[in-house]
Each structure stands twice: as structure tokens, then as C-alpha cells.
Structure 1
């Protein structure tokens, strides 16, 4: 893990954030997510950014999954193996992508999951959960659980040999999953800029101190509203009681110091600790939302991802050691 966090972001990452504030933030303010054309345009913009500034896909192998469990639930996603990673492993990473529950897919995140696979030497299963507005709460949460149960039954992975990872809204899905009392916990949990507060109250307070370079809180809230429409945000599967819930597995939370969701990351880390869990919080100065996916834009992505890979390896080793002692 990183010994000393830099005091400032690199010049390149700070310049990128400044340009984003003048372009992407302004564009997101005028694209109506409730209109089909606005949502389509937003999806294309995110896809282009992830492809343009993401890591290389050289040597990556992808296997599409579309199966049904015995009870009829459908699991859709893809196995991603970075260069040199084989299928012969009893360990893996279960990845829940971000999207505001409405924008992204395993395709948009393939460069990130392939990089994660290459760094860890493990196959990564990225779930293709159903998106809003066509599929509203709890569709994505239900799919996250179905994917986890498929990995642990049909695919034969024992929970303690798996680490769950996710970014943004995927972080919310991961925490919600692990708060359920009958869900077996993985060896660890690695989250990039997790979304916790769906009211965006924490984000709005942060925005008063420093504007997010990618999007305004009010616009992000509209996007989340596509998923939560018709359900009170006080629902316990939406407003997550992390501090009063189950103890989480060992957790690493990374966030960018320049994004509004840094407050969500801080709250989540504090709540996990309050519930008796072990959580390391890394706030990378001046970085944008899910900067780890953009190594061609920000040099800090590489050391951050190395930390994630080290955390995953340590979590899996620690769990194996506990089983040996037990």
C-alpha cells in the first residue's frame, strides 16, 4: 500500500480536471437524463471517455455470460482476463460497475476490469445488471445478488476466495449486498469513489466548498432518480445503515479529492469502522471521479491501482491464513 499520499495532484491531472470543469460539467448540465436522447448522449460520452483515456486492452480475453439460475433469475455479464491471466484459478474478482444505475456496462468498464485482472493475475467477472429507467429499484440490487450467488454456487467459488470490487453506484450495490444478513461475505471489498448518499446531501455540502469537475450534484441526483423513481429514498436498501449493520469484510476505499463523492467515501469509511470493520480510506488529491479508469489522463491512476491489487492479494492471503489456523 502507498506509504505517503502526495500533497497535490500532478499538473496533468489538475489540468484535466480544469478542462473537464469547462466542458464535461457544462455538457452534463444541459443533457436531460429523463429524455431518451439525453440519456443516449450521456452514455456515448462516457463510453468515449473510458475508451480514449483508459488502459490498453492488449492481450485481453473476454467471455460473455448469459445464464439462468435454478430459480429463474438471469445472470448476464462477462469474464475478463488480462494479458497472461488463465482460466485455471479458484480465486476471482466480482466487479460491479458504476453508472448512476443508468449509464454504463461491462463494455464501458472493460479496460478497467482488464487492467485489474492483469495487475492481480485473477479473472474478473463484471456483472451486466439491468439499467434504469427501463428497470428501476430493486432490479440492479437483485441482479447483484444473483451474480454473487451464481459465482458461489454454479461457478464453484467459495466466498472467501473472492474479492468484490466496484465503482460509484456499483459501490452502493456492493455495500447493499453485503449488508444482507444471509449473504456470505467475500475476502475483501475494494471500492472506487463509492456512492453512498442517494439524496446527494453530502455531495451538495462538498460542492459548496469545491465544484466537481465532471457534474453538478443536482444533475447527478436526476440520474439516480431514474432508478429510484417511485420508491422513498429512506428505504433501507437505498439509505444504507452501514454503521448499524453487519461488520463489513476488510475494505479499501479510494476517492478523488476533486470530486463531490469524496464526502460519501469518508462517511462510508467512518461507518464501516463504527460497525467494527477494518477500512482503509485513500483520498487522492485533486483527482476526479473514478480516476483509476483514466490512466492516459491522470498519472495517479497507476499507483492507485497497484494499491488496489496489493489490497486484493493481501485480503486473499489473510483469509487463507485464517482458514489454515482455524
Structure 2
């Protein structure tokens, strides 16, 4: 499939350019953060500094909603936290969230602001898996932890059709890997998938191609590749769980992909979207003009962050309600 242009993937009701605040934030990030991230070493000291920097930024520009309930979970190999928006009542549906940042930097805690707003927008509880990070825990630790968390939710009584997989950045690669593993093992697939700025190409060849036309405000493809290499840790890049192929996946869940028009991972987003559609699945791709990587996590900085989450919430509600109607129709026909 020929890659589409940004204009053909605009979110519903979007303008042809980001807001003035968005464009200013992108400029300031490119002038201040990008030079720093490109120079930070991948030594233990450099990684610890990166983790503190990102945690501080996420809390500053995307704080947790007041009144959010957080419950930590540590059951066998499953580590994570339940995040429930204020006033949320229990139900049969749930979001399983997979945070990103190159398998190295973030955690369930750094993403608590984003997951609290996602819970509020959807009215659903969010379980964020706190997978083990590289370089302390290289491949396939993160993928194994996600798989354990998904199966744990199934064992808790959640029907697969009522589980929504959501994630950002490296969480997108982990989500796609989970879908492939579910297909291989005959495990029921989730009801829907929503990804923000998904990373798919761990060699960052697609990102390098995007950078030739527009530099990412946050980091270069070369620097990002160095971080991800701490996870892949010398494994063959062609391993099936690293170079993902979705062509043979059956019953791929309906998916929404959101990506920023200013970031290098827009190439990955297009590639994932194309793979899903080529395999007969349903995918919606939204390229938000002038937005940075995972802009949904930065509402104090990016005005469009709330709109993007609302789009995601609408998609989730529509897909899950459609599934209910389809199931009821099947039951009526079988009587």
C-alpha cells in the first residue's frame, strides 16, 4: 500500500495545522530537549538522569486528575496499578495500558496522569502493566510481562471482548506482539486497540526516513535506536517477536492509531496501519498536524491533547457497543 499523506489522515474536525501553542512547544522542545537527549549516554548514570527528567516532565505537563484512585498490584509475575477516575463505578470492561519510552525509561507511575485522563474520558478502569525495564531486564522481559498481565485479566473474569489494549511508543510494539502471540496460542483477542505514537520498526529505518523531511522535536532516530538496543541486547533483529509481521493474524481487533505530524514515528504508524488493513483488519489512522510524540500525555502544554483522548474514547465506546449488538444478534439467530 502506498503511504498516505498527512492531509489524508487528519482527525475528524481537525485544522490543517496545530495550534499556535502546539507549534511553539514543538519549537522550544527542538531547541532545548532534543540536543540533550541526543547527547545523553546510555550508561547507568545517563539512564537514571533520563528517567528522572521524563518523570518530572510528565508530572509537570500532565498531572494526575484530582480524586483519582490508584491501587497497586503485585501478584506473581504481574506488576502494575489500577487507575480509576473520580466517581468511577465497577463494570465488565477494562483498559490494559502499556506505557512506552524505549523499554528503558518510563513506568506505570510516570503515565498515571495520562491513564487517569483516559479513565475519565472512557469511564473505564485502566490497568497499567509495570513491565520490567531494560537494560536491567532485556528482551523478552517486557513482552513476557505484558502477556502475563493480559492472561491475568482474563483469569480475573474479564471477557476478552471487553478488554481494550492501549499504549504508546514502545507500548505499541508490545501491543502488536501480544496480538500475534494471542493468535499463535489461540488466546482470545481483545475487543479493541488504541495506540498513541506506536513504535513498530526497532531498527528505526522508517524513522530515519521521516527525519530526512522533518526532524523530530524530541530525539533523533539514532539516539532512540541506541536506547532500544538496550532492550534487544544483541538479538537478531529478524526475530519474529522483534520484526513483527501481522499479515497472518486472524480476528485482529479494531484499532485506532494516533500519531503526531511532527514526529518521526509517523512512518511507523502508517506502516502498522497498512499491515492491519492488508491482513483484513480494521484500522483508523489519525495524524495530528504539528504534534509531538505522545502529545496526549501533555495537556498543560498541548491544547489538542484533550481532543485526542476524546476521539480515542469515542472510538472505544463505538467498538465495544458494536460488539455487544453483534453478540446479541448472534444469540437471537441461534435461538
TM range (shorter): over 0.9
Question: Which residue of structure 1 aligns with residue 6 of structure 2?
Answer: none
Q: 2:137 aligns with which of 126, 135, 138?
A: 135
Question: Which residue of structure 1 aligns with residue 5 of structure 2?
Answer: none
Question: Which residue of structure 1 aligns with residue 171 of structure 2?
Answer: 170
Q: 1:46 aligns with which of 44, 47, 54?
A: 54
Q: Does the CA-based 8 Å contact 2:138-2:232 persist in structure 1?
A: yes
Q: Does the CA-based 8 Å contact 1:247-1:275 persist in structure 2?
A: no
Once the 2 structures are TM-superposed, how far is the Cα of residue 56 of structure 1 from its aligned partner?
4.2
Question: Which residue of structure 1 aligns with residue 196 of structure 2?
Answer: 192
Q: Does the CA-based 8 Å contact 1:162-1:316 persist in structure 2?
A: no
| TM-score, L = length of structure 2 | 0.93
User: Are positions 1:76 and 2:76 aligned together?
Assistant: no
Of 236-245 and 93-102, more deviation after overlay is shown by: 236-245
Deviations 1:28-73 (A, max 9, x none): 011112x1110001111111111111044201000000002xxxxx
Q: 1:207 aligns with which of 199, 207, 211?
A: 211
User: Are positions 1:323 and 2:330 aligned together?
Assistant: no
Alignment of 1:1-326 (within 5 A): 3-33=12-42, 35-68=43-76, 74-86=77-89, 88-153=90-155, 155-180=156-181, 181-182=184-185, 183-326=187-330
| TM-score, L = length of structure 1 | 0.96
Once the 2 structures are TM-superposed, how far is the Cα of residue 5 of structure 1 from its aligned partner?
2.4
Question: Which residue of structure 2 aligns with residue 71 of structure 1?
Answer: none
Deviations 1:244-303 (A, max 9, x none): 433421000000000000100011001100000000000000000000000111111111
Deviations 1:109-161 (A, max 9, x none): 000000000111110000000000011111100111000000001x1101001
Q: Does the CA-based 8 Å contact 1:256-1:286 persist in structure 2?
A: yes
Structure 2 spans left out of the alignment, 5+ residues: 1-9, 331-335
Aligned to 1:209, what secondary structure does the other structure show?
A: coil
Report how many aligned residue pairs link the two structures. 318
Structure 1 spans left out of the alignment, 5+ residues: 69-73
Deviations 1:6-36 (A, max 9, x none): 2000010100010000111000011112x11
Q: What CA distance in whole angstroms lies between the structure 2 residues aligned with 1:21 and 1:114?
A: 28
Q: Does the CA-based 8 Å contact 1:247-1:272 persist in structure 2?
A: no
Q: Kindly report structure 1 stretches of 4+ aligned residues shifted beyond 4 Å.
A: none
Deviations 1:203-230 (A, max 9, x none): 0000010000000000000000000012
Aligned to 2:276, what secondary structure does the other structure show?
A: helix
Q: Does the CA-based 8 Å contact 2:97-2:128 persist in structure 1?
A: yes
Aligned to 2:256, what secondary structure does the other structure show?
A: strand
Q: Does the CA-based 8 Å contact 2:64-2:114 persist in structure 1?
A: no
Q: What CA distance in whole angstroms lies between the structure 1 residues aligned with 2:266 and 2:200?
A: 10
RMSD: 1.2
Q: Does the CA-based 8 Å contact 2:64-2:112 persist in structure 1?
A: no
Q: What CA distance in whole angstroms lies between the structure 1 residues aligned with 2:106 and 2:242?
A: 20
